[in-house]
Structure 1
Amino acid sequence: MPAADTSSPSTTVSRLPPQPAMGSGFPTLLHKELLRFWKVAFQTIAAPVLTALLYLLIFAHVLEGRVQVYNSVPYTAFLIPGLMMMSMLQNAFANPSSSLMQSRITGNLVFILLPPLSHREIFSAYLLAAIIRGLCVGLCVWAVSLFFVRLPVSNILWIISFAVLSCGIMGALGIIAGLWSEKFDQLAAFQNFLIMPATFLSGVFYSIHSLPPFWQSVSHLNPLFYTIDGFRYGFFAVSDVSPWHSLAVVSAVFAVLCLLLLRLLAAGYKLRN
């Protein structure tokens, strides 16, 4: 008789197929935020451009020839960069703040927590969408203004730098406001009592050299003044303060807001309620 096989049976180890690496959710969230304002561009882009155009028509008609700025710049030309920046600031703030508030009210804010999204990806997607919307509105305001006066471009790098950093500041503030606000009343208060006054008192319609000394000192405490003054320097090569000083202030404010916002998102501030 053949000898019995006393060797132990071979052990079969089942192996799971290798899992594909998890992709980043950043492109999807960014695409969603871009589509959110692009699908209603008549409201999110055309309406702000119309508002800026009305300001231009009224102030240029009333003050052209009556207000002298920088000794050589016509008032209408002086006004246009201010209106461009004001429109960019307001819309860069509105994009993430309204998105987060609508998500909170409709109850789908939790959906940005379910996918494997890091706080840095959430931060980057909302901030980049805010910057893009602000730049789109600013470009449209500039295009419409060409029917009235052609602006000189002294230094395009100054223009781009201040446009991107300024939209970044307001985009970060918009995300903070959207996280903090639990209802539309709180968001409206944030915008009406902080953003709107700071924007209108930042030199959009005037040079601060036309103000009394006390109000000039107050204007220097407003970070948005430096965004408009530096942006205007890129067109006319003249400004109320040094463009390097403005760039330093704007960059510092942007960095502080980004660090604060990253800490809030990392802690899940009001996202996990």
Structure 2
Amino acid sequence: MAGSTEMGTRRFGRVNWLGLYTLASREVQRFLAVWTQTLLAPLVTAGLFMVIFSIAIGPRRGDVMGVDFTTFIAPGIMMMTVIQNAFANTSSSIVISKVQGNIVDTLMPPISPGEMVIGYMAGGVGRGLLVAVAIAAGLFVFRGMLPAHPLWALVFVLLGAGFLSGLGMVAGIFANKFDQMAAITNFVVTPLAFLSGTFYSVQALPPVLNEITHFNPIFYMIDGVRYGMIGVSDSSPVLGLAIGLAATLAILMVAWVMFGRGYRLKA
């Protein structure tokens, strides 16, 4: 029967729900299977950042924007960890599949490019969200920190994880080898994360660097999470939300086009 329903692939309307669910489930189960590496390790790393900066700088730094230094950097460290893990989840999944030669298992089923984007993004966002929850729980236990604006914090965590998931897909599609992926991580993702107000207020930067920082979409996501967690920020959270949404949609569109054309995916 022609039309919108194809029971063989569980395609209802224009969406292959079974294929989408299978891909998303695979990506989530992939990082849950090694949770000590994907969830516990980031929590330990974030804790080490907090301890080191608190001991080395905290006592001498004083207040930043009306809050103590350790409290100020906590949301930045949390968001930096979230975006790094969201990026790593999608990029590593695609690169490993390409290197092992089983990327065809994802390309052959009747899954559209949009469904591929959403399926891969589910893993990256899921991992980023779980990391954020774990770090937020640690901040509550050890520092008694509760989000000042929980909904804003959640929105920017999801937005940041979505943006870096999309960037991870683009990087994973582009890279054919692990050293190419490492280069993208070291020279693109890490600088963007560290130079986004993670450990400082951009108000302390010289005017030129301050202006340059405002062209970095990750700055708005870190700043938005800081507003959600402790109620202070360098820019308007509404402006950050608009720029974050635009950047996320743009990078997901790039990934959609690359999947649709089979760029560097098809032999």
Using the alignment, how far apart are the partners of 1:135 and 1:223 within structure 2? 19
Map of 1:61-210 to 2, 5 A cutoff? Answer: 61-210=55-204
- Provide closer, same or farther for how the CA distance between residues 71 and 88 of structure 1 changes in structure 2, counting only shifts above 3 A: closer
- Provide closer, same or farther for how the CA distance between residues 179 and 49 of structure 1 changes in structure 2, counting only shifts above 3 A: same
Deviations 1:213-264 (A, max 9, x none): 2221221122111110111111222211111111111111011111121111
- Displacement of 1:71 in angstroms is 4.3
Matched with 1:35 is 29
Deviations 1:174-230 (A, max 9, x none): 001110000011101110000001101111111111222222122112211111011
Matched with 1:4 is none
CA contact under 8 A between 1:69 and 1:207: conserved in structure 2?
no
CA RMSD of aligned residues (A): 1.4
Using the alignment, how far apart are the partners of 2:191 and 2:128 within structure 1? 19
TM-score w.r.t. structure 1 length?
0.89
Deviations 1:141-190 (A, max 9, x none): 12222343122422212111111111000000000111000001110111
CA contact under 8 A between 1:70 and 1:238: conserved in structure 2?
no
Give the match's secondary structure for 1:154: coil
Using the alignment, how far apart are the partners of 1:85 and 1:20 within structure 2? 42
- Provide closer, same or farther for how the CA distance between residues 67 and 29 of structure 1 changes in structure 2, counting only shifts above 3 A: same
Matched with 1:248 is 242
Q: Write the letter of the residue equivalent to 1:247.
A: L
Identity of aligned residues (%): 39
Give the match's secondary structure for 2:233: coil
Using the alignment, how far apart are the partners of 2:160 and 2:65 within structure 1? 27
Of the structure 1 ranges 134-143 and 19-28, higher mean CA displacement relative to structure 2 is found in: 19-28
CA contact under 8 A between 1:230 and 1:246: conserved in structure 2?
yes
Aligned length: 255
Larger radius of gyration: 1
Of the structure 1 ranges 83-92 and 142-151, higher mean CA displacement relative to structure 2 is found in: 142-151
Deviations 1:70-102 (A, max 9, x none): 443121111111111000000000001001111
Deviations 1:10-30 (A, max 9, x none): xxxxxxxxx844223111111
Gaps of 5+ in 1: 1-18
CA contact under 8 A between 2:27 and 2:122: conserved in structure 1?
no
Using the alignment, how far apart are the partners of 2:159 and 2:21 within structure 1? 22
CA contact under 8 A between 2:28 and 2:122: conserved in structure 1?
no
Using the alignment, how far apart are the partners of 1:105 and 1:173 within structure 2? 19
Using the alignment, how far apart are the partners of 2:228 and 2:208 within structure 1? 27
TM-score w.r.t. structure 2 length?
0.91
Using the alignment, how far apart are the partners of 1:153 and 1:144 within structure 2? 13
Deviations 1:24-71 (A, max 9, x none): 311111111111111101111111111111110000112223224444
Equivalent of 1:55, from 49, 52, 59? 49
Matched with 2:9 is 22
- Displacement of 1:115 in angstroms is 1.5
Q: Write the letter of the residue equivalent to 2:9.
A: M
Give the match's secondary structure for 2:67: coil
* Greater helix content: 2
Using the alignment, how far apart are the partners of 1:26 and 1:71 within structure 2? 44
4+ residue stretches of structure 1 with deviation over 3 A? 68-71
Give the match's secondary structure for 1:105: helix
- Provide closer, same or farther for how the CA distance between residues 68 and 246 of structure 1 changes in structure 2, counting only shifts above 3 A: farther
